[in-house]
Amino acid sequence: MMNLQVVSNVDYNRSVDAQSQTQLVAVPNLQRLEVLTEANKHEALELLKVRPVHTVVMTSFINDNGIESENNRGKFYGYRSESGKLEGVALIGHSTLIEAHTEEAMIAFALIARESETPIKVMMSDGKSIEKFWDYYAVEGQTPMHNFTELLFELNFPFLVQKCKWDVRLAKPEELEQVAEAQAEVAFIESGINPMEKDREGFLKRCLRRIEQGRTYVVFKDGKLIFKVDNVAETDNVAYLEGYYVAPEMRGNGIGSNCLSQVGLELLDRVEHVCGLSNIKFEGVHKSLAKAGFKNTDACQTIFV
């Protein structure tokens, strides 16, 4: 276990004061915080199984990449109880994902996140948990670039299956450029950053890997991409969809819901739940998801740093 003496008492007290002058909080023992390795894979996955829908991305990263991998774009950390049992698992990095079962674990992850070697761009957790994480993470005067609510939608059997009118299939490597351009448009709408401009080579590499994994579903018409959605994470019983795109000239005619229903049906052949998040402001997307059979079951907060 690591000896992590990276945050001073002054920094910690400032975080607590910033959150509340009167609130009593549990002080984490940073001796119980550790960087997880492949040797910790089984116990990390066991903790993440407690809430499989909410932790599908972290679980999929561990299964797809291993705990120690550059493809995770960060490091996995664990926080243990006094008895040595894991109380939380977090991926701290480009996308920071938190599953903390105790207040101490939440605070410990927030403090070590300040020292992340990989710049943090986005933070996510269920409900309002990530806002509490931010309160402990942020230095005095620091504010997030964006902070918004996303609705969690789930698809399970039984649901009313639509007859798909379109040829929904997996994307091919030679279609990378159009797929990446569509994904970049989705990312820009969400974050205000175009990854094709910021890190074109890295972004294309990540999009290609997803295609090669058989995770990108597309529809083409006359050689042009008109629908796309990515199965960005999959476990034994959950698939998580992201990057929902419909070409501007095709929007409003039902192609989105029709194709999402077909993708969901295919995925439910091998998992119990299909889920995805959508910004609370994107009412058109919510309608497509509802028409495809998805139901809003929860919400989470997403922060862009």
- Whether residue 236 is predicted with pLDDT greater than 80 in this model: the reply is yes
- Residue 21 is predicted with a pLDDT of 40
Q: How confident is the model at residue 66 (pLDDT cuts 50, 70, 90)?
A: very high
Q: Using an 8 Å Cβ cutoff, are 215 and 262 in contact? A: no
- Residue 24 is predicted with a pLDDT of 56
Contacts of 138 (CB under 8 A, 6+ apart): 15, 18, 144
Sign of CA dihedral 167, 172, 175, 180: positive
Distance between CA atoms of residues 123 and 275, nearest Å: 19
- Whether residue 171 is predicted with pLDDT greater than 70 in this model: the reply is yes
- Whether residue 8 is predicted with pLDDT greater than 60 in this model: the reply is no
Structural tokens at position 193? 């950053």
DSSP three-state, residue 40: helix
Q: Cα dist. 302→96, 123, 269, 286 in Å?
A: 10, 6, 30, 17
pLDDT tens-digit readout, 214-224: 999 999 999 99
Q: What is the mean pLDDT of residues 227-252?
A: 96
Q: How confident is the model at residue 25 (pLDDT cuts 50, 70, 90)?
A: low
- Residue 128 is predicted with a pLDDT of 77
Task: Please give the radius of gyration of the chain, using alpha carbons only, rounded to the nearest integer.
Answer: 20
- Residue 273 is predicted with a pLDDT of 97
What residue has token string 């972290």? 58
- Residue 23 is predicted with a pLDDT of 52
- Whether residue 229 is predicted with pLDDT greater than 50 in this model: the reply is yes
Structural tokens at position 70? 């550059």
State the DSSP H helix or E strand holding residue 21, giving kind and residue range, or none if neither: none
Contacts 24+ apart (CB under 8 A), 78-85: 78/33, 78/34, 78/36, 78/40, 78/43, 78/44, 79/28, 79/32, 79/33, 79/34, 79/104, 79/105, 79/108, 79/109, 80/1, 80/32, 80/33, 80/34, 81/32, 82/29, 82/32
pTM for this entry: 0.87
Residue percentage of the chain with pLDDT more than 90: 84
- Whether residue 14 is predicted with pLDDT greater than 70 in this model: the reply is no
Between 80 and 21, the higher pLDDT residue: 80
- Whether residue 18 is predicted with pLDDT greater than 60 in this model: the reply is no
- Residue 27 is predicted with a pLDDT of 82
Helix orientation angle between 283-291 and 255-267, rounded to the nearest 10 degrees: 50
Distance between CA atoms of residues 115 and 112, nearest Å: 5
Q: Using an 8 Å Cβ cutoff, are 183 and 245 in contact? A: yes
Structural tokens at position 186? 């989705």
* Residue type, position 231, single letter: N
Q: What is the mean pLDDT of residues 141-170?
A: 93
Domains of the chain: 9-143 (3.40.630), 154-299 (3.40.630.30)
pLDDT tens-digit readout, 250-301: 999 999 999 999 999 999 999 999 999 999 999 999 999 999 999 999 999 9
- Residue 68 is predicted with a pLDDT of 97
- Residue 161 is predicted with a pLDDT of 84
Q: Using an 8 Å Cβ cutoff, are 4 and 33 in contact? A: yes
